[in-house]
Amino acid sequence: MPDFDVLVIGAGHAGVEAAWAAAQMGCRVGICTLSNDTVAGMPCNPAVGGTAKGHLVREIDALGGLMGLAIDATGIQFKLLNRSRGPAVWSPRAQADKRRYGGWVRSALEAVPGIEWLVGEVYGIRPNDQVWSLDIIHRTHDSSQKESVSARKVIVATGTFLNGLIHVGPETFPSGRYGEESSTALAESIRTIGFRMGRLLLVRLRKPHSQLERTMNPSFSAGGASRRPTTAA
Ligand SMILES: Cc1cc2nc3c(=O)[nH]c(=O)nc-3n(C[C@H](O)[C@H](O)[C@H](O)COP(=O)(O)OP(=O)(O)OC[C@H]3O[C@@H](n4cnc5c(N)ncnc54)[C@H](O)[C@@H]3O)c2cc1C
């Protein structure tokens, strides 16, 4: 019998929802992450919702997912954007305390008995007679340990890490989220078993600090904040 019914690679926003959903369906779930400290990590603006994404969050909520519960528990500002325009573009958006958000999601998953955490890097994946075999390396400061596990189904939710690249001006370097290593061995392994891979380009433009300072409004917390009591953002 395989070790898991479902093994989820990645504990970002997609991976935690996948693990949560599979566990609610009674599956034995393994969830693998490069670090326990970055579960459901928000790499930049710690917002949940906004135009288009606000609707997605409500759909996840309606399906019994985690994101709406997590932002209700850890949100620090809830707003309906674009109210001066027509209802088609009204957009629910919440700002999270990003450390508490990730911690809350991790605790919620840790409380589910059917979920086992594997902290390490999946560097190999191959089909093996109706199940998938996965090679994982667990690293500490001074040692590393390899392990192989098996699962009936694998969900790859590695976000921007899979063969990830960051471009800063003329520089290009492999990276996952900024400051975290990209996942190149897994990408190569997935390619070897016959999957074609592509790349989505995320462009992030940063304003220089002086410009940011000019546009910052120090009285923002007294004005715009409005707290919604219950529903998801
Ligand atoms: C610089 C930047 C800024 C962004 N800004 C915003 C923003 O302002 N607002 C917004 O809504 N979205 C923003 N995004 C997009 C948003 O962060 C991503 O869409 C979202 O995090 C993707 O979630 P995910 O679950 O797919 O993957 P991620 O959050 O990237 O999580 C991937 C997970 O996979 C794990 N992993 C990767 N490889 C392996 C492996 N080989 N073995 C084990 N575990 C592995 C990682 O540890 C991590 O847990 C930004 C993204 C970036 C990179």
Specify the pLDDT at position 137: 97
The tokens describing 1, both together, are 């019998």
Residue 229 pLDDT class (50, 70, 90 cuts): very low
The tokens describing 157, both together, are 């939710």
Residue 203 pLDDT exceeds 80? no
For residues 192-213, give the mean pLDDT.
73
Using CB distances shorter than 6 Å, the residues near ligand 1 are: 9-15, 32-35, 38, 41, 43-45, 47, 53, 121-122, 157-161, 177-178, 183, 186, 202, 204
Of all residues in the chain, the percent with pLDDT exceeding 70 is 87
Q: DSSP assignment of 38-80, as one string?
A: GTT---SS-EEE-TTHHHHHHHHHHTT-SHHHHHHHHEEEEEE
Residue 232 pLDDT exceeds 50? no
Of the candidates 127, 154, 106, the residue with the CA atom closest to the CA atom of residue 5:
154
Residue 202 pLDDT exceeds 90? no
pLDDT digits (tens, 9 = 90+) for 84-97: 999 989 999 999 99
Specify the pLDDT at position 227: 41
135: which residues sit within 8 A by CB, 6+ positions away? 122, 123, 124, 125, 146, 147, 148
Residue 4 pLDDT class (50, 70, 90 cuts): very high
Q: When comparing pLDDT for 28 and 214, which is higher?
A: 28
How far is the centre of ligand 1, averaged over its atoms, from the C-alpha of 131 (Å)? 27
> In 3-state terms, what secondary structure has residue 121?
strand
Specify the pLDDT at position 222: 45
> In 3-state terms, what secondary structure has residue 132?
strand
How far is the centre of ligand 1, averaged over its atoms, from the C-alpha of 17 (Å)? 13
Q: H-helix or E-strand containing 220?
A: helix 220-223
Atom 3 (ligand 1) nearest CA? 44
Return the best residue to mutate from 20, 32, 33, 109 for the ligand 1 pocket (most ligand atoms within 8 A of CB): 33
Whole-angstrom Cα distance, residue 218 to residue 165?
35
pLDDT digits (tens, 9 = 90+) for 118-176: 999 999 999 988 999 999 999 888 889 999 999 999 999 999 899 999 888 899 999 98
Specify the pLDDT at position 43: 80
For domain 4-159, give the fold. Answer: FAD/NAD(P)-binding domain (3.50.50)
Whole-angstrom Cα distance, residue 131 to residue 124?
14
Residue 79 pLDDT exceeds 70? yes
Q: Compute CA distances 148 → 30, 133, 216, whole Å.
A: 13, 7, 51
| Backbone φ, ψ for residue 84 (5° rounding) | -80, -10
Residue 213 pLDDT exceeds 80? no
Residue 220 pLDDT exceeds 70? no
Specify the pLDDT at position 205: 63
